[in-house]
């Protein structure tokens, strides 16, 4: 993992939602099994928030109907992001310290990829990274 950066592991292209996207549509994307969360961006690709499974379930538990809500209504604001040049050990530290499953990756403030914890784990189980005592 040493020497790797966020850009070496991030997944792209990234599907993101706009602020006015239907929360139900985002939930449909998430339950399709492809995503566990979705970044919310403005028209320039700046990350404004993230909608997670937890965010959607919280609104449902409050008695809200997802069909009546937008991404702006359900998203977690002020998301933690990392720059594509961030060292992978630092990315992992940020994820662990903040209990983040999937982290948006940016370049000059614009969304360029995402890294999930499982993406880092996949790197670490490669034969070239395994050492036996």
Q: What is the DSSP string of 57-91?
A: HHHHHTT--GGG-BHHHHPEES---EETTSBHHHH
pLDDT of 53-84, one tens digit each? 999 999 999 999 999 999 999 999 999 999 99
- Tell me the pTM: 0.88
pLDDT of 2-59, one tens digit each? 789 999 999 999 899 999 999 999 999 989 876 789 999 999 999 999 999 999 999 9
What confidence tier does 90 reach under pLDDT thresholds 50, 70, 90? very high
Domains of the chain by residue range? 6-129
Say which DSSP state 5 is in. Answer: B
Say which DSSP state 100 is in. Answer: -
pLDDT, greater one: 74 or 127: 74
Considering only the top CATH level, what class is 6-129? alpha beta
């Amino acid at each position: 993992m040493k020497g790797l950066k966020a850009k070496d592991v991030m997944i792209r292209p990234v599907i993101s939602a706009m602020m006015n996207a239907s929360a139900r549509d985002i939930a449909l994307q998430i339950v399709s099994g492809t995503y566990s969360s979705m970044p919310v961006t403005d028209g320039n690709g700046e990350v404004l928030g993230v909608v997670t499974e937890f965010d959607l379930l919280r609104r449902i538990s409050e008695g809200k109907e997802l069909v009546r809500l937008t991404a702006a209504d359900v998203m977690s604001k002020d998301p933690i992001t990392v720059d594509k040049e961030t060292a992978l050990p630092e990315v992992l530290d940020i994820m662990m310290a903040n209990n983040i499953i999937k982290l948006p990756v940016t370049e000059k403030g614009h969304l360029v990829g995402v890294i999930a914890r499982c993406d880092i784990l996949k790197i670490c189980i490669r034969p070239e990274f395994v050492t036996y005592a």
